[in-house]
Amino acid sequence: MQTLTSYVQGQWKPGTGSAVTLVNPTSEAALAQCSSGGLDWSGILRHAREVGGPALRALTFAERGVLLKNLSNALHAAREELIELSIQNAGTTRSDAKFDIDGAIGTLAAYAQYGAELGSKKILADGEGVQLGRSPRFFGQHVLVPRLGAAVHVNAFNFPAWNMMEKAACALLSASPVIEKPGTPTAMVAWRAAQVALASGALPEGAFQFVAGSISPIFDHLTSQDSVAFTGSSVTAALLKATPAVVQRNVRLNVEADSLNAAVLGPDVEPGSETYSLFLANVAQDMTQKTGQKCTAVRRVFVPKGRERAVADDLVADLKRIHVGDPAEQTTRMGPLASASQLQDVIAGIARLEKAGTLACGGAARARERGYFVAPTLVLAREAGADVFHAEEVFGPVASILPYGSTAELVPLVARGAGALVGSIYSNDSAFVQTMVLELAPWHGRMWLGSDKMAEQSLPPGMVLPALVHGGPGRAGGGEELGGLRGLAFYMQRTALAGFKGVLSDLLPS
Ligand code: NAP
């Protein structure tokens, strides 16, 4: 069995004490183990702050962009090996593995390009300057400067490569040294990707450290220039928000958490239309891609009252075509859940949804004797207002159909998700779309507007793009990542400068 080591203070080190075992979720065979016992947490942070930080800050944005491009190339060269590991340790099909790994490679490349465009700058202007005195000689300008601490990244199990590199891309471009901790059940992919990244020589020493296993003890050592970007459940997020590091020392914390993403079929969308086909394809893909273990997956499907049966039948027809099985086999379209505890949670969650509706397909049972398999599961709600549909994220290939009568009824129902990463609206009626955006955008980090006009070119709503903000209010954690250069702000200090306009211009060469 392989031992996953941590890369800390310039070397790969095994942890001590009791280890967690990682398995192949298809066969349930043990693959590896890891532990972070015995690591020197204050030493790791010191290494980031005193070695990695100064080395990154010595570089311009363009030079850090080159660093990201080199990382992207190194991961691309190891792509096949990483895909294979993902199939084994995360239970992903080849296509789902590519979604994660190509997402990592692409996001690094996108931020490399942002770096190239920023050129020789080391400070960013934040918005336009403003005249403060009688003449423009006394001028004000907000700027963003790199912070001096470490960027601690705590990631979820479902995107071991993308989650690691989308956060790292923003942090490294901002000159923040990274301490990465992936979700343990699928950490083999992240571990190997980290090895590839470090072996590439692209990174100055101290710019990237990697912890396999628990990272909780590091919170006792964080200080106010450090930042934590967390992706995971709202339960863990609540624990982190309550740590003295956050409450007393004001360590920055960005949270990307649960989300009961909605897909709304507009009343104007006729069966057989382009928008209707797009709606069906996206919902079926969202439910089954990565076995539904996607924070942006659709969980609540809102359908005009009276059409719920027909929509369920159409979706079931699509879902029945999805072959569930060993992800290593080419005919398989959906693999197992990533871990035994995921299987337990998803089965229990389906059972709770089922009590408030009827099953259109799937159900609360293992789909195979061995491995963490469940079938794609669609629940038809008896009562769209039942709490369970709006409060419980079942993190698997599971969604519910919720009928709505009018726009006035629909809006508060969608809002009961209490904050989401992405909401998708399918309609060609611009008045309906406008109402949806005005009423529902405050509950969303991103709204995806599906229509006949963009159907052919569109990327699905579940896909997170580097150029658009990822994150959402309320239940989704209240955080924000990516969004082009917006993603850098979390790792930088916004400072208002007031002084002679010439001095400010020298600081911010165009
Ligand atoms: P999780 O159990 O909350 O774990 C997330 C991360 O936190 C893991 O790395 C975990 O480490 C770590 N962790 C757990 N307890 C901790 C503690 N006390 N102190 C510090 N770190 C701690 O979530 P998960 O099961 O991995 O992921 C599934 C959840 O993530 C779902 O709810 C999903 O919606 C959400 N998610 C959200 C997004 C988003 O962008 N909004 C993206 C993906 C997933 P171990 O693995 O070692 O326990």
Give the model's pLDDT for residue 426.
98
Cα(257) to ligand 1 centroid in Å equals 8
Measured at the CA of 412, the angle between CA 411 and CA 417, to 5 degrees, comes to: 105
One domain for residues 92 and 187: yes
Q: CB count, 10 Å around CB of 344?
A: 12
Is the pLDDT at 354 greater than 90? The verdict is yes
- Evaluate whether residue 70 is within a structural domain: yes
Q: CB count, 10 Å around CB of 270?
A: 8
b/e map of 383-395 (b: 16 or more CB within 10 Å)?
A: ebebebbbebbbb
- Evaluate whether residue 337 is within a structural domain: yes
One domain for residues 183 and 211: yes
What are the structure tokens assigned to 89, written together? Answer: 């340790």
Q: At what angle do helices 187-199 and 79-90 cross, to 10 degrees?
A: 160
Cα(345) to ligand 1 centroid in Å equals 14
User: Which pTM value belongs to this model?
Assistant: 0.96
111: CATH: 3.40.605.10
User: Known catalytic residue: 256?
Assistant: yes
Give the whole-number percent of the chain exceeding pLDDT 90.
98
Q: What is the DSSP string of 210-223?
A: E--S--GGGGGG--
Tens-place pLDDT, residues 407-443: 999 999 999 999 999 999 999 999 999 999 999 999 9
- Evaluate whether residue 8 is within a structural domain: no
Residue 375, domain extent: 261-465
Cα(5) to ligand 1 centroid in Å equals 20
- Please tell me which residue, 344 or 456, carries the higher pLDDT value: 344
Residue nearest to atom 34 of ligand 1 (CA): 258
Give the model's pLDDT for residue 172.
98
Give the model's pLDDT for residue 56.
98
* Catalytic entry in 180, 256, 308, 481: 256
- The secondary element (H helix, E strand) that includes residue 492 is strand 492-500
Instruction: Using pLDDT thresholds of 50, 70 and 90, give the confidence band for residue 136.
Output: confident
One domain for residues 438 and 304: yes
DSSP E strands, 171-245: 178-181, 208-210, 227-231
One domain for residues 503 and 442: no
Residue nearest to atom 38 of ligand 1 (CA): 295
Give the model's pLDDT for residue 267.
98
One domain for residues 80 and 146: yes
* Catalytic entry in 180, 295, 308, 480: 295
Q: CB count, 10 Å around CB of 362?
A: 23
Which residue type occupies 178?
V
Give the model's pLDDT for residue 255.
97
Pairing of strands 377-381, 357-361: antiparallel
Q: What is the mean pLDDT of residues 20-44?
A: 97
Q: Mean pLDDT for the chain? A: 97
Q: What is the mean pLDDT of residues 79-100?
A: 97
Q: What is the mean pLDDT of residues 237-249?
A: 97
Give the model's pLDDT for residue 122.
93
One domain for residues 328 and 192: no
Tens-place pLDDT, residues 91-105: 999 999 999 999 999
Is the pLDDT at 138 greater than 80? The verdict is yes
Cα(233) to ligand 1 centroid in Å equals 5
Paired with 446 in beta bridges are 422
Is the pLDDT at 509 greater than 90? The verdict is no
What's the structural domain count of the chain? 2
Does residue 468 contact residue 446 with C-beta atoms inside 8 Å? yes
One domain for residues 275 and 235: no
Q: What is the DSSP string of 298-362?
A: EEEEEEETT-HHHHHHHHHHHHHTS-BS-TTSTT-SB---SSHHHHHHHHHHHHHHHHTEEEEE-
Which residues have any ligand 1 atom within 6 Å of their CB?
154-158, 181, 183-184, 214-216, 231-233, 236, 239, 256-259, 295, 393, 395, 421, 476-477
Cα gap 236→479, rounded to integer Å: 15
Q: What is the mean pLDDT of residues 336-350?
A: 97
The SS3 assignment for 291 reads: helix
- Evaluate whether residue 79 is within a structural domain: yes
Q: Which atom of ligand 1 is nearest to the CA of 237?
A: 3
Instruction: Using pLDDT thresholds of 50, 70 and 90, give the confidence band for residue 510.
Output: confident
The pick from 157, 221, 468 for probing ligand 1's pocket by mutation, whose C-beta has the most ligand atoms within 8 angstroms, reads 157
One domain for residues 285 and 416: yes
Tens-place pLDDT, residues 270-280: 999 999 999 99
Tens-place pLDDT, residues 146-202: 999 999 999 999 999 999 999 999 999 999 999 999 999 999 999 999 999 999 999
One domain for residues 242 and 205: yes
Instruction: Using pLDDT thresholds of 50, 70 and 90, give the confidence band for residue 1.
Output: confident
Tens-place pLDDT, residues 468-493: 999 999 999 999 999 999 999 999 99
One domain for residues 284 and 222: no
Q: What is the mean pLDDT of residues 46-67?
A: 98
Residue nearest to atom 4 of ligand 1 (CA): 232
Q: Which atom of ligand 1 is nearest to the CA of 395?
A: 31
One domain for residues 152 and 299: no
CA-nearest of 400, 419, 121 to 258 is 419
Instruction: Using pLDDT thresholds of 50, 70 and 90, give the confidence band for residue 207.
Output: very high
Give the model's pLDDT for residue 450.
96
Cα(235) to ligand 1 centroid in Å equals 9
User: Known catalytic residue: 205?
Assistant: no
Tens-place pLDDT, residues 364-403: 999 999 999 999 999 999 999 999 999 999 999 999 999 9
Cα(473) to ligand 1 centroid in Å equals 18
